[in-house]
């Protein structure tokens, strides 16, 4: 969690599922995820069955190459899938986003590695997650990078920690990244049951505690597989999936406002305005998924998505009145979850712009 994403910004293939395209999730799947949302928010989507449901319905397979047991959906469909999952359950969507980031890295490995890991992941027989935030953090320990990899005659060994790992105690493997002695970076696939791994208790957070995000510590841990980054020092923040999850959460909040507007005529213009803004951002996101997007424009999109999800959640709370302020109400959870987007994998330009807005500094 809260770490960088690996995202291919090249043009996506044809036949995408953009606005007006086929549903990102079957209605039955959306309903089941929503029904599991409260349990997933507390226990995690691995324990609740949310991840197993997505695997069984072929939704995880969309992220996996066809030659490794998946259906290899195009980028617009993947982005729409993440948004739809977030609308039903943000905790599950976060878990899927981290699973998908790990799968993207594994998919760049040599064929023996890809074909030994990806088919079982597509079927939901095993689960993985990603822990690479340490590759872009300035935090160091005793003058060394947070996680280092050293090569020995027996292979690569990892020492240090991953500060933010979603679902570490629920997954079979972690895809992580470490600094090497030559100043480079490598990715590693490590079984969570490997000798020398210690997984801290999951963090109790303002929201999304069910993501089971924890610190993972490594002490001379042998890596099962080594993967060269697609490009040197490839880890970065601010991919499109963060905006997809923000807009999915915003859609859930706008849905609450629209529901209240159906009973209170005065809310109808407000609901309509939020729906228009959301539709416009969704169109921009799909355009970016189809054709790629410049870094500055990607950050602008992320900032706009963050702004909407925060406003939509507060609008839902205001429209729900006192009922929405009671713990356990869907609006109460959405308000807390909306704050997650202020701290999750946020490019510095987006963070700075938000702080200036909050401080009234132009």
Asked if residue 17 has pLDDT above 60, the reply is no
Two tokens at 140?
């160091």
Q: Of 36-50, 233-247, 265-279, 317-331, where does mean pLDDT reach its minimum?
A: 233-247
Asked if residue 10 has pLDDT above 90, the reply is no
Q: In what helix (H) or strand (E) does residue 221 lie, and over which residues does it extend? A: strand 214-222
Residues 123-138 have a mean pLDDT of 88
Q: Which of 165, 133, 177 is nearest to 346 (CA)?
A: 133
Task: Provide the pLDDT for residue 154.
Answer: 87
Q: In what helix (H) or strand (E) does residue 198 lie, and over which residues does it extend? A: strand 197-199
The one-character DSSP state at 248 is H
Task: Provide the pLDDT for residue 152.
Answer: 87
Query: Alpha-carbon Rg of the chain, whole angstroms?
Result: 20
Task: Provide the pLDDT for residue 140.
Answer: 52
Asked if residue 230 has pLDDT above 80, the reply is no
Residues 78, 60: Cα–Cα separation, whole Å = 10
Q: Which of 155, 226, 159 is nearest to 198 (CA)?
A: 159
* Local confidence band at 139 (pLDDT 50, 70, 90 cut-offs): low
* Local confidence band at 137 (pLDDT 50, 70, 90 cut-offs): low
Residues 312-326 have a mean pLDDT of 95
Per-chain mean pLDDT for the chain: 89
Asked if residue 1 has pLDDT above 80, the reply is no
* Local confidence band at 357 (pLDDT 50, 70, 90 cut-offs): confident
Task: Provide the pLDDT for residue 87.
Answer: 97
Task: Provide the pLDDT for residue 145.
Answer: 87
pLDDT digit string, tens, across residues 65-82: 999 999 999 999 999 999
**CA 361 distance to own-chain centroid:** 30
Residues 141-159 have a mean pLDDT of 85
DSSP assignment of 5-21: B----SPP-SS---TTS
Task: Provide the pLDDT for residue 151.
Answer: 93
The one-character DSSP state at 201 is P
pLDDT digit string, tens, across residues 84-128: 999 999 999 999 999 999 999 999 999 999 999 999 999 999 999
- The whole-model pTM stands at 0.90
297 vs 10, residue with greater confidence: 297
Residues 75, 60: Cα–Cα separation, whole Å = 14
Q: Identify whether the C-beta of residue 338 lies closer than 8 Å to the C-beta of residue 313.
A: yes
Residue 139 φ then ψ, to 5°: -65, 135
* Local confidence band at 232 (pLDDT 50, 70, 90 cut-offs): very low
Task: Say which residue the tokens 């690479």 belong to.
Answer: 132
Domains belonging to the chain, first-starting first, are 27-127 (1.10.540.10), 130-227 (2.40.110.10), 240-359 (1.20.140.10)
Residues 267-296 have a mean pLDDT of 96
Task: Provide the pLDDT for residue 341.
Answer: 96
């Amino acid at each position: 969690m809260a770490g960088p994403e690996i995202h291919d910004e090249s043009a996506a293939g044809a036949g995408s599922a953009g606005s007006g395209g086929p549903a990102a999730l079957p209605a039955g799947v959306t309903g089941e995820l929503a029904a599991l949302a409260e349990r997933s928010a507390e226990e995690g989507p691995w324990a609740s069955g949310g991840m197993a449901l997505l695997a069984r319905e072929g939704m995880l397979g969309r992220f996996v190459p066809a030659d490794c047991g998946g259906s290899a959906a195009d980028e617009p469909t993947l982005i729409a899938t993440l948004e739809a999952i977030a609308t039903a359950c943000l905790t599950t969507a976060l878990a899927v986003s981290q699973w998908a980031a790990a799968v993207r890295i594994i998919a760049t490995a040599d064929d023996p590695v890809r074909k030994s890991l990806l088919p079982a992941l597509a079927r939901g027989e095993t689960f993985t997650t990603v822990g690479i935030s340490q590759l872009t953090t300035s935090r160091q320990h005793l003058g060394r990078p947070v996680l280092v990899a050293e090569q020995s005659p027996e292979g690569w060994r990892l020492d240090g920690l991953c500060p933010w790992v979603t679902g570490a105690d629920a997954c079979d493997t972690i895809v992580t990244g470490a600094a090497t002695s030559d100043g480079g970076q490598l990715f590693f696939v490590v079984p969570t049951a490997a000798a020398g791994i210690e997984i801290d208790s999951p963090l109790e957070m303002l929201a999304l505690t069910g993501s089971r995000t924890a610190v993972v510590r490594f002490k001379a841990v042998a890596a099962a597989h080594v993967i060269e980054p697609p490009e040197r020092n490839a880890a970065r923040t601010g991919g499109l999936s963060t905006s997809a999850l923000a807009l999915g959460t915003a859609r859930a909040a706008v849905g609450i406002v629209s529901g209240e507007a159906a009973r209170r005529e005065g809310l109808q213009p407000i609901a309509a305005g939020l729906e228009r803004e959301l539709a416009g951002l969704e169109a921009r996101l799909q355009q970016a998924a189809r054709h790629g997007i410049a870094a500055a424009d990607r950050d602008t999109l992320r900032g706009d998505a963050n702004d909407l999800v925060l406003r939509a959640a507060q609008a839902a709370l205001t429209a729900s009145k006192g009922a929405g302020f009671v713990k356990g109400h869907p609006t109460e959870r959405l308000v807390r979850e909306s704050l997650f987007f202020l701290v999750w994998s946020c490019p510095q330009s987006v963070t700075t712009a938000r702080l200036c807005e909050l401080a009234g500094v132009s």
